[in-house]
Structure 1
């Protein structure tokens, strides 16, 4: 790596932030509480994309802490990552896929991050030895692809990245390796590093491709620097998919989402998923869009997308699996298991009566009558009494 990442002139303190924004004493006190829980880090590049005079700037919303993060509604683990962890740093939820958590560091700490529980913080959830992960994968021949995530793996040193790719590509039953990263968006200068590009070119072969999975969420993020980064990756033989997150105040307008998808296709990035924002602590209250509204946005956006740019699936990454949100018919919302922890569920379709407020699968429960609800309440009270008397 040519220079320290993140750059030393990144915004990480309120004093630095106040050079760009007027922050009242009350708000400053609230933001101090937010930063005690979840740090701030904004690269100079990403800061340059922000219109600091616009109170509703979508780029700013993804990067700058908000006092709304004091809302603790939700959960820090909405997809069951803890229960699918085999040992620190490796998860195996779906039979074919191993997930490696390679680092707790990112170039920028996104305010909508679904791993806020450890990104930028001390943690025991990160992989300690790459060799341990490789050994686990070798023993599980049902695994045919590896997703390397974090944090952001591309904040690691070139030496570590090469070691990781060398170990994984030697495993015969691994057909593809994916690297989940926001670096092309938040710090595209990373790809000015010829050594890194050479590593990608070495390990992305005709028989075993390397995929970079980006997260472009707004058209403003597609700028000359990020376009150059994407071009460098393509020239290195890397295939690029994009996983956007549907975020209130960022891309929840059909014209915004359509422009994003069409522009991604134009620069050589395949639209892969649009994720329903998870009901995360310090995220749900100000970023999550109701599923009904999300469907309206996505279908209207697709009406203005080419066939290439409407290939993405609207996905909810639930504890039971990846659930595609299909659409509405006859006052019912239809869903389909795109991937599932229980393989018997893969491809299964189901439906719920339309709800205008539900933001997650658990918000739908049409089969629970009043007597069942009362029973659950009584059971909950019973457990509380038992805990108090024990």
Structure 2
């Protein structure tokens, strides 16, 4: 037995013996299955002897291990974890990565009720009083004191993530803005003009050189941007967004830079699929869910309309990167006859009660065209809701002028129709005084604003997303969805294990007041739409690859209504994710319970 398996077999030595003594894979399967069933029944008969919290982890591990060793799931997932374990026990090792071994070491710890997740790092060193021994005011004060300590520990994490409303950050950004304006020979009035912002998007080699004069680029980002531009891979940054970046790369602006500066792996993948990107990168299969040009429909009562297929700025992980060739590209605006036909389609389908006006970014269009489209949509009597999706509050808040807000507000007719704005803030560092002013202009018209965050490696540290929720509520934006990264191969550098988004929800978001954590963590199933990750009946872990990547079967939202096939998804490795966090300076102990979220 090689030393790298020690932690795994030490966690459950009897399983090692069962596997080692098995003469065949099927013999091993039968022995392990009987062992699991025996342990499950033993503790089901007398749970009083073990702590409830250990039993909860035990039950989840049992359920998942049954899935993983199932012959049916091995066939579906295309991998046999049990065979790898059996070979390791009989031969001393097997052809798997350390990521795989880590997964099963934690499975076996949970199986033996030795998960060692309590107390969490958050509460280490704080004694939990036995509240049952006290009552009345004494008990109330004692619990309040305990919760104060919990809140203080939360603040230690939250204080790491500054927003752009912090006085020190505002001062730094003022310097950044002046530096960019000097480089562009422009003035403060220009800066407040959204048209000026659009005209000066940094999207070519000259723009790259301007970026380098304004901030320091690390060598990898410069090389990847240059390669992208030379090969017509979409790239673009607005002056406003550039001024959010620190002059020197820092921990604070890490997420902001990662929004727009692509990793080399992304650019190389985009180049490799230049000729077939429409097929390679259309993860949500919009080509198969479009009943008419510009319309995408995945649900019974809502559909998307996309009149403009570009943005002033390119987000690297964009779901529709296969549609965009450059920021504000000349061909982005659909012909008016196609836009009219798409709107007519909504009028003809009385099943539609909600329309999402998106793209690209529809607020790139001029005011008159936005007004015209909203006017047409507002005349469709069965539409109860119009949602306008735009990232301009984060990338070009100057676009939300008094005039545009007045247009948007004119179509808000409560009692008949609601109009709202849906945006994408990814990190508290994106929020600025200009953002706040734009949000205030929108809110004065009576329009609500909702946020959809994409949960990426860049914003997935402990309490990082909670800090975003807090600042969003402060400025009047309601958290709406938190999206797990799409399973697009070109974006794997941004991906986070599903276990981490579940952990974040249970251990961090849950500690915030309910009004702050109104977002729902979801996974987009290709061609079908969102699955709620907190609902165990919507997905199950069915395998672990030799690289230690979990394989999930997603059961679409339609499963209780119609016969639909599950979607099989291979996640990123938890082990690899934690190693990347360590490189960012994180303590892996902060995340030690991640293994027990399935």
What is the Cα deviation at residue 45 of structure 1? 1.4
Match of 2:434 in 1: 225
Partner residue of 1:34? 228
Q: CA deviation at 1:54?
A: 2.1
- Structure 2 equivalent of residue 308 of structure 1: 515
- Alignment equivalent of 2:266, drawn from 65, 69, 77: 69
**Which ranges in structure 1 are unaligned for 5 or more consecutive residues?**
359-390
Aligned to 1:272: 480
Deviation digits for residues 207-240 of structure 1 (CA, Å, limit 9, x no counterpart): 2111100111101112211111111111112111
Q: 1:48 aligns with which of 243, 254, 259?
A: 243
Q: Structure 1, residues 361-381: CA drift from partner, whole Å, max 9, x if none?
A: xxxxxxxxxxxxxxxxxxxxx
Q: Which has the higher contact order (CA 8 A, sep 6+)?
A: 2
Q: What corresponds to 1:4 in structure 2?
A: 195
Deviations 1:263-283 (A, max 9, x none): 212222111100011122432
8 Å Cα contact 2:390/2:423 also seen in 1? yes
**Deviates most, 122-131 or 145-154:** 122-131
1:105 corresponds to which of 282, 300, 310: 310
Query: Could you tell me how far apart the structure 1 residues matched to 2:498 and 2:531 are?
Result: 12
Structure-to-structure mapping, 1:43-192, within 5 angstroms: 43-54=238-249, 56=251, 57-72=254-269, 75-121=280-326, 127-129=334-336, 130-191=339-400
Asked if the contact 1:258/1:304 (under 8 Å) is kept, the reply is no
Using the size of structure 1 for normalisation, the TM-score is: 0.80
TM-score by length of 2: 0.54
The structure with the largest strand share of the pair is 1
Q: Report the more deviating stretch, 214-223 or 6-15.
A: 6-15
Q: 2:410 aligns with which of 193, 202, 213?
A: 202
For the 8 Å contact 1:63–1:109, the answer to whether it is kept is yes
Q: Is the 8 A contact 1:185 1:226 kept in 2?
A: yes
| Cα distance, 1:357 vs structure 2 | 3.1
Which residue of 1 is the match for residue 58 of structure 2? none
**8 Å CA contact retained: 1:103, 1:153:** yes
The structure richer in helix per residue is: 2
> Is the 1:88–1:127 Cα contact (8 Å) retained in structure 2?
no
Deviation for aligned residue 1:34: 2.0
32-41 vs 260-269, which moves further:
32-41
2:496 counterpart residue number: 289
User: Secondary structure at the residue paired with 1:16?
Assistant: helix
- Equivalent pairs counted in the alignment come to 350
Look up the SS of the partner of 1:114 in the other structure. coil
Measured at CA, do residues 146 and 224 of structure 1 come closer, stay the same or move farther in structure 2, by a change above 3 Å? same
Please name the residue that 2:174 is paired with.
none
1:238 alignment partner in structure 2: 447
- Aligned residue number for residue 259 of structure 1: 467
Structure 2 CA distance for partners of 1:298 and 1:33, relative to 1, 3 Å: same
Higher Cα Rg: structure 1 or 2? 2
1:262-309 deviation per Cα after TM superposition (whole angstroms, max 9, x unaligned): 2212222111100011122432x2111111122122322213321011
SS at match of 1:273: strand
Change in Cα spacing, 1:196 to 1:343, as seen in structure 2 (3 Å) is farther
Matched residues in 2 for 1:49 and 1:325: separation? 32
